[in-house]
Amino acid sequence: MQKSIHPNYHPVVFRDVSCGFTFLTRSTCTSNQTIEWEDGNTYPLITLDISSASHPVYTGARQQQKAEGRIARFNSRFKRSNTAAPQE
């Protein structure tokens, strides 16, 4: 590899502000904010609006809402009244 053409690749902490999930990884991102990590070292902190911990596709929240909506719509459409006895 050639020297001085590659970006600085270093450890960075990412924090999801919607749920507080933090993780340490390596990245080329930089930040003026820092955080002291569990190992006692200080790393740059990058804040995220959404991550795999809070995204509906990964958490399954969106699919659950869709299923509940379909079930409620089905029940309201084909609701049986309890007063009428079933015919035999």
Asked whether the whole model's pTM tops 0.75, one would answer: no
Token output for 47: 């804040």
Taking only the tens place, the pLDDT of each residue in 27-55 is 999 999 999 999 999 999 999 888 878 76
Distance CA 26, CA 62 (A): 30
SS (H, E, C) 14-76: EEECCCCCEEEEEECCCCCCEEECCCCCEEEEEEECCCCCCCHHHHCHHHHHHHHHHHHHHHH
* Residue 3: pLDDT over 70: yes
The answer for residues whose C-beta is within 8 angstroms of residue 35's C-beta and 6 or more apart is 13, 15, 22, 42, 43, 45
Taking only the tens place, the pLDDT of each residue in 53-87 is 876 666 665 555 566 677 777 788 787 655 555 55
The domain spans of the chain are 10-77
